[in-house]
Amino acid sequence: MSALRRKFGDDYQVVTTSSSGSGLQPQGPGQGPQQQLVPKKKRQRFVDKNGRCNVQHGNLGSETSRYLSDLFTTLVDLKWRWNLFIFILTYTVAWLFMASMWWVIAYTRGDLNKAHVGNYTPCVANVYNFPSAFLFFIETEATIGYGYRYITDKCPEGIILFLFQSILGSIVDAFLIGCMFIKMSQPKKRAETLMFSEHAVISMRDGKLTLMFRVGNLRNSHMVSAQIRCKLLKSRQTPEGEFLPLDQLELDVGFSTGADQLFLVSPLTICHVIDAKSPFYDLSQRSMQSEQFEIVVILEGIVETTGMTCQARTSYTEDEVLWGHRFFPVISLEEGFFKVDYSQFHATFEVPTPPYSVKEQEEMLLMSSPLIAPAITNSKERHNSVECLDGLDDISTKLPSKLQKITGREDFPKKLLRMSSTTSEKAYSLGDLPMKLQRISSVPGNSEEKLVSKTTKMLSDPMSQSVADLPPKLQKMAGGAARMEGNLPAKLRKMNSDRFT
């Protein structure tokens, strides 16, 4: 199969056919199923690689009259062949119409028959027929003025027609020449020098699964305020049953951080981090083979030389996204400048990339370590515990030495506080876990129950230290030890009270 693909290219796929029910030759003994190459069905794109949108408007009905209400924009949007045809046709019709008007005036006044009479003054001198009237109009309209044909003062209708010709000619010139100028100055051709990579890639970058593609500018002139946007076109069905054939979703390429504002001097790699907010959150290498989507990339900016806004577009379908690839570097440092090698602009190479989606990776991480505490710890509670421990050390130093020997547990408050702090932190951590993991952690025989039993045993031991000055939390935890003070002799109780008062 690989040999067939190398021979016929990637535009063909190998399919297996059986000899039964077909016109193929029967297979001999020991032969496997026959294989034939069938061209792949081309994916219908919404936006071509060159940026053209494959959308046609039909069944407009009476709405076509709206195009005439904005005639100038309609003419600019036409193709060049239609613009040239309308340009030539408009001038030809205008010239023939005005030449006919001059011929009609000469004909009605009889200038065509009396033009050679010596003492006769015609409306337009030296106009004998229609060609001569046409030449007079061209000379007047183009302000050539050879001086052979001219208007006399004996023809008021000719003067009025001359004024009308000047006004009409200015309007036609402004409309058609302006239309051609706007058509030629459109920055669409500037987009031809803006390049996009042929493929998009998905690989790890900074420890995160990232969708990447490359853009470049072939001209030395910059694109001012260049900005890039990405749209994901994918069909889906809503919970109410509505089918959306081309639902548009936004792909974040750095809008929140300002990374979508480009300084497009050298080729740049545009990144979309796949996380829980990304539409590709559950996209894996296997699921991408059955998915159908299209990523539309829109690059906008102001042309530095003309000041006009330019937009370049392209798209990537699911078969143009390479999983586990990365772009080759194209920038190298030379003596005094940086060199860009555009021969490697579209080149990619394979890198180790997990084939799982981000959602699957997070689920596997939770299942493999169900008792991992959250990243945010209860730092405030731990700080309070340390303060209580310091206060307990001060109080223990104030007790008489005899009481310290009777208790025999000078390190008891520290042990108790550490164990209680650990218990509270574990309880806090388990509360943030899902219910399933909490049930796993609540199995009998866990370390939490052992810790509670050990703490209870320590609380039941004799304790002779007074806890009247301890914080409320420690008074409650060491309540059993406070009752031991009543069993001391009267002399020791008095010494204890005098010590603290």
Output the tens digit of pLDDT for each of the chain's 501 residues.
Answer: 444 444 444 444 443 333 333 333 444 444 444 444 445 556 788 999 988 898 888 888 878 788 888 888 888 888 889 999 999 999 999 999 999 999 999 888 888 877 667 778 888 888 888 998 999 998 888 888 777 888 888 888 888 999 999 999 999 999 899 988 888 888 778 888 899 999 999 999 999 999 999 999 998 888 899 999 999 999 989 999 999 988 999 999 998 888 999 999 999 999 999 999 999 999 999 999 888 999 999 999 998 888 889 999 999 999 999 999 999 999 999 888 999 999 999 999 999 999 999 999 999 988 886 555 454 444 444 444 444 445 445 544 444 554 454 444 444 444 434 444 444 444 344 444 445 445 444 444 444 444 444 444 444 443 444 445 555 554 555 454 444 455 556 655 666 565 544
Cβ contacts of 477 within 8 Å, gap of 6 or more: 416, 420, 459
pLDDT at 362: 92
Tokens representing 423?
A: 């218990």
8 A C-beta contact, residue 153 and residue 137:
no
Compute the CA torsion angle 328, 331, 335, 336 (nearest 10 deg).
-170
**CATH code at 78-185:** 1.10.287.70
pLDDT at 269: 95
Query: Which residue stretches of 78-208 are H helix?
Result: 80-109, 111-114, 130-141, 156-185
Which residue do the tokens 């730092």 mark? 379
pLDDT at 206: 93
* DSSP 8-state secondary structure symbol assigned to residue 222: -
| Torsion over CA: 255, 256, 261, 262 (sign) | negative
pLDDT at 42: 66
8 A C-beta contact, residue 351 and residue 325:
yes
Task: State the architecture of 187-363 in CATH terms.
Answer: Sandwich (2.60)
Domain map of the chain by residue range?
A: 78-185, 187-363
- Radius of gyration of the chain from Cα atoms? 45
- In degrees and rounded to multiples of 5, residue 412 shows phi and psi of -65, -45
Q: Which among 375, 374, 204, 354 is positioned nearest to 274, based on CA atoms?
A: 204
pLDDT at 283: 93
Q: Which among 128, 135, 127, 118 is positioned nearest to 152, based on CA atoms?
A: 127
pLDDT at 486: 53
